[in-house]
Amino acid sequence: MSELYASALHLDRTAVKALKITDMYSLHRVVYSLFPDVRSEHEKQSHIQSGIVYADQGGDFHGRKVLIVSDRQPAAHVNGQYGDVISKPIADSFLSYPRYRFKVQVNPVRKEKQSGKRVAVTGRNDIAQWFLHRASTSWGFDVDPQTLQIDSIEVQQCNDKEGRKITLGKAHIQGMLTVRDQQQFRNSFKNGIGKGRAFGCGLLQIVPVIDNPFA
């Protein structure tokens, strides 16, 4: 796997106001501005991954924090002057553990068989079952059902640069996972999981679970 970087973007109140961060699209624009887009126009249309996944950690009166995983190093500031980016390479060994605690913000959707349209998965129980199934069949890991928590569910709306309305359901999930397919798991960490990744969904925030020899 090519080198990956873990970064944290810190924005104070002045930066949030100056950059006009008011919704998920404006935050998307700010995060992506930290990176040169290395994709050709053809690759963009072919849905080639951007190499950037991120998670908005929210904020308070003082500012905002965004976590980012990327396949190239971000700029140190937004537009050369706003915020601070702390970035470091991710050691390959970090993705070699068998078990992790995780947090993730995901967009729960499924494709209807007859129409082929994507429809939202709603309700905590249905989202939990959807997540357990997708994890084991598509993302390279199993989730311990006893540890799975759906912390919150929200619906966000914004307009894109063409003025079209975007509606995104987002579930905040945490639990314990066991890696079942190492390569698939690494791809999930690198590229994110599920839909809505351009708008802050899919970043697996993971912490290795290490057995305590004294326990």
Q: How far is the C-alpha of 208 from the C-alpha of 187, rounded, in Å?
A: 17
Determine the topology of domain 5-90 in CATH: Alpha-Beta Plaits (3.30.70)
Q: Residue 137 has which token pair? A: 């069949």
CB atoms under 10 Å from CB of 80, counted, come to: 7
The answer to whether residues 158 and 84 touch, using CB atoms and an 8 Å cutoff, is no
CATH of range 93-208; options 3.30.70.1210, 1.10.3720.10, 2.40.100.10, 3.30.70.20: 3.30.70.1210
pLDDT digits (tens, 9 = 90+) for 113-140: 778 788 899 999 999 999 999 999 999 9
User: Which amino acid is located at 118 in the chain?
Assistant: R
**Residues with pLDDT less than 70, the chain:** 1, 39-48, 215
128 φ, ψ to 5°?
A: -60, -45
How confident is the model at residue 43, as a pLDDT? Answer: 58
CA-to-CA distance for 198 and 200, rounded, in angstroms? 6
**Residue 181 tokens, joined:** 């397919």
Report the alpha-carbon distance of residue 106 to residue 170 in Å, rounded. 5
100 with 176: CB under 8 angstroms? yes
pLDDT at 136: 96
Do the domains 93-208 and 5-90 match in fold? yes
Identify whether the C-beta of residue 205 lies closer than 8 Å to the C-beta of residue 8: no
Domain ranges of the chain: 5-90, 93-208
Confidence at residue 1, expressed as pLDDT on a 0 to 100 scale: 56
Neighbours of 191 (CB within 10 A): 17
Whole-angstrom Cα distance, residue 172 to residue 190? 19
